Chains A and B, each alone.
Chain A
Amino acid sequence: MAAKYDLRVFPGFRAVTLFCLAILYAPLVIVTIYSFNASPSITNWDGVSLRWYVDVFTGPDSEKFKYAARNSFIIAIIAATVATCIATLAATAILRGGRFRLRTVSFGLVSLPLMVPEIVTAVATLIFFNAIGFDRGLLTILLAHIAFCIPFAYLPISARMQGIEATYEQAAMDLYATRTLAFRRVLLPLMTPGIVSGFLLAFIVSLDDFIITNFVKGAGVETLPTAIFGAVKQGIKPNIMAISTMLLGISVVMVTLSWLVSRRDATK
Chain B
Amino acid sequence: MNTSTTDAIDIRDAVKRYGDFTALHSVSLSIRDNEFFTLLGPSGCGKTTLLRMIAGFEDVTEGAIFLFGEEIEKLPPHKRPINTVFQNYALFPHMSVLENVGFGLEMLGHPMQEVRKRAGEALEMVQLSQFAARKPAQLSGGQQQRVALARALAPRPKVLLLDEPLSALDLKLRKAMQIELKHIQRDTGITFIFVTHDQEEALTMSDRIAVMSSGELQQLGDAREIYEQPRNTFVADFIGETNLLPVTVDEVQGGRAACHLPGGQTLTCDASAGVARGARVHLSLRPERVIVAAQPGVESLKATVRENIFVGTDITTIVDLAGGEEFRIRTSNSDRGRARIFEPGAGVFLNMEQGAARLLTD
Contacts and interface: CB of A to CB of B under 8 A. Distances in A.
A224 B126 CA distance: 61
Interface stretch (A110-118, A170-178, A231-239): A170-178
B90 A170 contact: yes
A165 B107 contact: no
Given A165-B88, A175-B83, A177-B107, A266 B77 contact: no
Contacts of B90: 165, 167-168, 170-171
Interface string A152-187: 000000000000010110111111111101000110
A115 B93 CA distance: 36
B92 A174 contact: no
Contacts of B76: 173, 179
Contact of B93 (A170, A178, A185, A267): A267
Nearest to A164: B93
A173 B78 contact: yes
B88 A172 contact: no
A186 B91 CA distance: 10
Given A165-B88, A170-B57, A268-B137, A176 B94 contact: no
B261 to A, nearest CB: 50
A87 B107 CA distance: 28
B339 interface: no
Which bracket fits the contact residues of B?
20 to 34
A268 B155 contact: no
B141 to A, nearest CB: 14
Interface in B70-99: 76-78, 82-84, 86, 88, 90-94
B78 A176 contact: yes
Interface of B: 55-57, 76-78, 82-84, 86, 88, 90-94, 103-104, 107-108, 137, 151-152, 155
Given A171-B86, A179-B76, A268-B137, 19 more contacts: A165-B88, A165-B90, A167-B86, A168-B92, A170-B57, A171-B90, A172-B103, A173-B56, A173-B78, A174-B56, A174-B78, A174-B152, A176-B104, A176-B107, A177-B103, A186-B92, A189-B94, A190-B93, A268-B93
Which 9 A-B pairs have CB atoms at the shortest separation, nearest pair first? Answer: A175-B104, A176-B107, A171-B90, A167-B90, A173-B77, A177-B107, A189-B94, A176-B78, A174-B84
